[in-house]
Each structure stands twice: as structure tokens, then as C-alpha cells.
Amino acid sequence: MESIVDTVVLVAIAVVGAALARRLGFVAPLVLLVAGLGLSYVPGFPEAHLEPELVLIGILPPLLYVAALQTSVPAFRHALRPILLLAVGLVLLTAFVVGFAVHWLVPQAPLAACVALGAIVAPPDAVSATAIARRVGLPRRVVTILEGESLLNDATALVVVRVSVGALSGVAAGFGEIAGQVALKAGGGLVIGAIAAVGAAKLHRRIEDPLLDDAVSLLTPFVVVIVAEELGASSVVAVVIAGLYLGHRIPYLLSATSRLQMDAVWRLTTFLLEGVVFLLVGLQLRAVVESIETDMSTTVRVTSLVFGALVLVRFLWMYPATYLARLIPRIRNREDRPPVTVPTVIAWAGMRGVVTLAAAQTLPVPDPAKDVPDYPRELFVFVAFAIIVLTLLVQGTTLPTLARRLGVREDTSAQDALAEAGVQHAAGRAALEALDEHADGAPASVVDRLRALVESRSNNAWERLGSQRQETPSAAYGRLRREMIRAERHVFKIARNEGRIPEEVLVRAQRELDLEESQLRRSEQ
């Protein structure tokens, strides 16, 4: 019972912290991390410990799956080259640069352990960077690159961690073997993810109950990751591939009710998972700090070296990766040359999070009896946690300002409105053709009402291109209709309270009014 109460308390604190972050305009992970750190010093507050298996199998898969569901596959495919350069090339380079740097500063630590630390801190977090990118209004291609990098870099990092830990235990591993392991596990994950996606798509196509659709969607990332782990493939790649495929085909697989309900379910799930994870990171920091046996000067030097190396390597990688590739005519003709401010912002968007937290806990405890040599494990775990805190504090708080100062922002509202109006016009013509084809026998008043609905939708789309200084007809319609809905809802509540209608009638009417009001608000966003 006590553990249930502790869980409820943590979730409640995470919700309050996230709400406070939104009100103050801060990044939620940063606020929750600081809150967790403060609560860890409150006498009697329950201690927290996250098992790496729980993070890697219970928390990371749904977060990656939702991010993949919401990623545009055409945009992802168009930005695949820079995504792979960051998710594979930069992660490998970072792991070895950080590894050799730490080994130089702490020579008694085996190189394999140092490379494992480099891989642990190499992948930026999916939650923090994209949340900031969307809030600041970064160009869509930049957001796609950051999202794509965070979807795939975890796979590269986790493979390098596993190979390095194996080498630490006496299993030889060189550059070629590590590259081969990455390719083999990624290929296996791709196949498993594709098979799982096709299977889930068939289930969704046959299911008509929205609740069953939700259940299948919630189970999919966990089933995929368990199968991939059992077969020795990359569970991260498998989950991402399944999410990308299903997200691209959701309009054809699910009913309208299922899509609306599933969106709400996943929004709540990710909101709670992200909040609790970063709160737990903060709660564990005190225990991690108190476990350090290395002297303070060495701890500060290693932490500063790792943070500096992460920032420097990312900057040194971004500019050649951005501009040298454009020396190739095919790439130069297909992609515009971005200003230097764009790779600068991408380079600074390197906040670490969930994967770094989980991977740090997988470092083996030194035990000569099990062929695990002695090394400062507690120092390496602390450095991983410190990197999460530093990147969120330093880069997370300054990225919005940097993007604004450099002018790396994009307002596509007018372009989006123009494109939407054009497609809505074509969709309206198709709708009217379908109406004419199937209108035989229908009352004329119904046909006229449907024609008016099509014309209203088309007009609303064109109105968004007009002036914002005065209330448009669609805005006036939405404002007045909401007032009417409130009045209708009030009448139904009074009728229920007076016993003139049963509860079931109120629930049905309330749902219809809620759906209409929700649609009004969505159309105004």
C-alpha cells in the first residue's frame, strides 16, 4: 500500500511541476529535475531508484513510439542524410572522443569503461530538444532533424554501451566489431519493426471498437521491444520503424473515433511518463552525489571535461556535416544551403535525458572475480547524471534565446493556410461530387444543409489568409456556437437534476456537445 501511495504522490508532483513549467514558460524536464533534487533533501520523503530495465523496456519504448507516430515520414525521409549523420556518425565519434579524453584524465580506468561512458552521454534526449524547438518556432526541417536524431541515436548509443561493457569484462571488441554490431542489431530491429507494424496494421484494420484500438496501440511498443530484445536486435530501431509505419498509415487504419480517443490516451501517457522520469532523476541525484568516493577535484575535472567535449564535438561535427556534403552536385541541387545560424542552433540543442539515465545504471559493478576490473563506477554514474543536469540547465535554458538572437525561426502560418485552402477547395469539390452521386431519395433540406457545410469549410480555410485585425465569420460562428452549447448543456443538466431525463440521456447529449465544442476549438487553433 505504501508503494502505491508513493507512486500517487510522485505522479501528483509531476503534474503540478509540469503545470508550473507551462505557466512560467520553462522546459518541464528542467523544472521537474530541480523539484526532484529539492525534494530529495526533505526529511522523510521516500527515496527513489529507477531500474535500467524499467526505463529501457517500460518507459523509453512508448515515448519513442509516440514520437515516431507523430513524425512526418516524407519529411523524415527527406532529412534522412543529416539524421543518420547525427544519430550514427556523431554518436560514435562522441563515444570515442569522450572515452579517450576520460581515459587520459583517469588513466587507471579501462578504456572500454571510458568509451561506455562516452556512449552513455552521447545521445541527446527526444523530449527536451523537440519541446523547445516547437515552442520557439524553429524551421520545420530543423525540428525534423532533431526529432529524427533523437529517434535513432539511442540505438547506436546502447549498442556501443553493450559492446564496451562486454570488452570491459574481457570480450575483445575493436572498431570493426562495434560497427558490425551496430549494423547487425539495427538491421534486425528494422526487420522486426516492419513485421510488427504490418501485423498491428492488420489488427487495427479489423478492429471496430475504439477501446480495442487503444489497447492494441498501447501494447504495440512493449511487444515490439520484448521480441527485439529476445532476438538480440535493436529494440529502439524496431519501435521507431513500427511507429513511423503505423503513424503514416493511421488515417487509413482507424476510424475517426479511434483516432481522437487514441490521441488523447497517448497524450496523457507521455505527459505522465515524461514528468515522472525527470522527477525521479532529480530525486536520485542526492544518492548519486553521496555515493562518490573519488576526490572532489577529479570529479569536477572529469565532469567539466565530458561536458566540454560533448559541446565541442557536436559543434565540430555540425559544420562539416552540413556544408561538405553540399559539395556533391546531387545534394547541392536538391537541398538549399542553410545559413551558418542553422547548424549553430542544432549544435546547441544537445540536452540529455532518459537514455543517459538508464544506460548509466547498466555499468557493471567492479568485481575481479567476475573479470570486471576495478574502475570508478560511482564517478561515471555521477558524471552521467551531472551531464543531464548541466545540459538542461545550460543549453535548455539558453536555446530559445539563442534561436531568437540568431533569427532561426520560421512562421509558416500563411503558407500553411494557403496550402490548406487549396486542398480544402479540392476536397470540397470531391465532397459535392460524392453528394450528387448518392443524394437520390434524400430530402432536399438535407442535401442543402450538406452543401452549405461544404461551402462553410471551404470559406473558413480561405478566411485564414485574410486579415487578423477583425473577427472573421468563422471566428464569430465559433464564439456564438460555444455560447449556445453552454446554454444547451445547462438545460440538460437541470433536466437530469429534476429527474425529467435519466443519466444515460445526459451522458449521450453531453458527449455530442463536447465533440462539437472540441471540433470548434481545434478549427480555431
Hey, which bits of 224-313 come out as E strands?
Answer: none
Higher per-residue pLDDT: 39 or 413: 39
Identify whether residues 419 and 399 lie together within a single domain.
Answer: no
State which amino acid sits at residue 119.
A
Residues 408 and 137 sit within 8 Å (Cβ to Cβ): no
- Rounded Cα–Cα distance for residues 271 and 246 (Å): 21
Identify whether residues 385 and 427 lie together within a single domain.
Answer: no
Per-chain mean pLDDT for the chain: 82
Torsion sign across C-alpha atoms 459, 465, 467, 471: positive
Identify whether residues 381 and 486 lie together within a single domain.
Answer: no
Q: Give the chain's domain count.
A: 3
Identify whether residues 383 and 493 lie together within a single domain.
Answer: no
Residue from 204, 184, 193 nearest 244 by CA? 193
Does the pLDDT value for residue 193 go beyond 60?
A: yes
Residue 471 counted as domain residue: no
Identify whether residues 72 and 149 lie together within a single domain.
Answer: yes
Residue 489 counted as domain residue: yes
Confidence class for position 369, pLDDT limits 50, 70, 90: low
Domain that holds residue 218: 2-410
Residues 98 and 118 sit within 8 Å (Cβ to Cβ): yes
Identify whether residues 460 and 515 lie together within a single domain.
Answer: no
- Rounded Cα–Cα distance for residues 105 and 329 (Å): 43
**Whole-number percent of the chain with pLDDT over 70:** 88
Confidence class for position 165, pLDDT limits 50, 70, 90: confident
Does the pLDDT value for residue 471 go beyond 70?
A: no
Taking only the tens place, the pLDDT of each residue in 283-315 is: 887 878 888 888 888 889 999 999 999 999 999
**Whole-number percent of the chain with pLDDT over 90:** 19
Identify whether residues 403 and 418 lie together within a single domain.
Answer: no
pLDDT of residue 274: 82
Identify whether residues 417 and 405 lie together within a single domain.
Answer: no
Identify whether residues 419 and 403 lie together within a single domain.
Answer: no
pLDDT of residue 126: 65
One-character DSSP codes across 194-235? HHHHHHHHHHHHH---HHHHHHHHHHHHHHHHHHHHHTTS-H
Residue 27 counted as domain residue: yes
Does the pLDDT value for residue 173 go beyond 60?
A: no
Could you tell me the CATH number of the domain that includes residue 309?
Answer: 1.20.1530.20
- Rounded Cα–Cα distance for residues 92 and 183 (Å): 13
Identify whether residues 497 and 395 lie together within a single domain.
Answer: no
The 10 Å Cβ neighbour count of residue 340 is 12
For 339-366, what is the mean pLDDT?
85
Identify whether residues 380 and 420 lie together within a single domain.
Answer: no
For 58-77, what is the mean pLDDT?
86
Taking only the tens place, the pLDDT of each residue in 375-398 is: 888 899 899 989 988 998 888 888
pLDDT of residue 306: 95
Identify whether residues 230 and 250 lie together within a single domain.
Answer: yes
Residue 474 counted as domain residue: no
Q: How far is CA 140 from the centre of its chain?
A: 15
Does the pLDDT value for residue 409 go beyond 60?
A: yes
Taking only the tens place, the pLDDT of each residue in 267-287 is: 888 888 888 888 888 888 787
Helix 126-136 crosses helix 396-406 at what angle (to 10 degrees)?
Answer: 30
For 37-44, what is the mean pLDDT?
83
Residue 29 counted as domain residue: yes
Residue 250 counted as domain residue: yes
Residue 475 counted as domain residue: no
Last residue of some domain: 392, 410, 428?
A: 410
Residue 473 counted as domain residue: no
Confidence class for position 1, pLDDT limits 50, 70, 90: very low
- Rounded Cα–Cα distance for residues 524 and 263 (Å): 18
- Buried b / exposed e across 160-189, counting CB within 10 Å, b at 16+? bbbbbbbbbeeeebeeeebeebbeebbebb
